[in-house]
Amino acid sequence: MLTVEGVNLAEVAAIARQRLDPVHWDFFAGGAGDERTLRGNEEAFARRRLVPRILRGGGERDLRTTVLGTELSMPVLVAPTAFHLLAHPGGETATARGTAGAGTAMVVSMAATQGVEEIAAAGAALWFQLYPQPDLEFTAAVVRRAEEAGCRALVVTVDSPVFGRRERDLRHGFLDLPAGLACENMRDAHGRVRDIVMDAGLDWSRIAWLRGRTTLPIVLKGVLHPADALLAVEHGVDALIVSNHGGRQLDGAVATLEALAPVAGAVGGRIPVLLDGGVRRGADVVVALALGARAVLIGRPVIWGLAAGGSDGVRHVLELLRAELDAALALCGVARPAELTADLVAPGSRR
């Protein structure tokens, strides 16, 4: 039985804030600039209202789904986030154990503080997040490493030609990991840890290059414009994540929920569309799925759970969302996520 406190994600976050170094709290919690996009992701959900159906006799709910061949106990995955050893001594392996316990999948960050092989040993279904590096040979080696560790998809982050200006980190002077920690997936064949390079020259040719270097499904993370969604389909991408990097890159960017329906409409069901950013309740998951997402990813709440209780805390966060999602589906008159439709969602005032 899980013993982590908190009956919702906000309460888990409050516990995490008490336990984290304030500098590290700001690193995880903060966004770029004035943090308008960071706030906007949650506010976009707060403006939506559910319009439930009644007397539909749905019976027991079945939350299971499959995305790119990965079976999930519910349509919620763990988003890629960096530096888990700053949140808990168990690091990313603890996150993976909690994810495995909840029966879903974890996207391992290229900036993880433990290597993908070590994380894979914890037993969770893994995807791997990649920032394509200008050094193509090194990029190919990272991809091979992810493949050999058993990762089931390659999540290519495409919204970061440069680092966003995160003013909380600038005020603290938090520009690098403390001594003794490193981005372990950036170790080269000589054991040296390379810096992650944001490549402003990244274009569609690099996606084609990746397609020729891996048999893994390629997921583009950071798509907000429907024209880019169409281009992704044309370039043979296997899935999209509607994401603004949790508000950590371009401040003032559209909230992910606001971008979801136009992107899903452009794709027209040809490939799965996922969403991250701002999901804090099971009802938020319902809204996202009804508006076109196959599943959602959560980032910061997983870090809160990790800081609050290690692997048990991660699982607690996921189980809270599961319970809320199950109840919301029942109250909307829906038995399975695939039955959610856009007519169940209406715009409204703030909660």
Q: What is the pLDDT of residues 142-153, one digit of tens each?
A: 999 999 999 999
Return the CA Rg of the chain.
Answer: 19
Domain map of the chain by residue range? 9-337
**pLDDT computed for residue 57 by the predictor:** 87
Q: Is the pLDDT of residue 3 over 90?
A: no
> Could you count the other beta carbons within 10 Å of the beta carbon of residue 192?
9
To the question of pTM greater than 0.85 for the whole model, the response is yes
Which of these is catalytic: 24, 84, 245, 316? 245
Per the annotation, the verdict on 84 as an active-site residue is: no
Top-level class of domain 9-337: alpha beta
User: What DSSP string runs through 302-314?
Assistant: HHHHHHHHHHHHH
Average pLDDT over residues 215-224: 98
Contact 280, 10 (CB under 8 A): yes
Q: Is the pLDDT of residue 2 over 90?
A: no
Q: What is the pLDDT of residues 61-115, one digit of tens each?
A: 999 999 999 999 999 999 999 999 999 999 999 999 999 999 999 999 999 999 9
Q: Is the pLDDT of residue 351 over 50?
A: no
**pLDDT computed for residue 349 by the predictor:** 57
Q: What percentage of the chain carries pLDDT values higher than 90? A: 96
- CA pair distance 172, 164, nearest whole angstrom: 16
What is the token pair recorded at 33?
């600039």
Q: Is the pLDDT of residue 201 over 70?
A: yes
What is the token pair recorded at 201?
């020259």
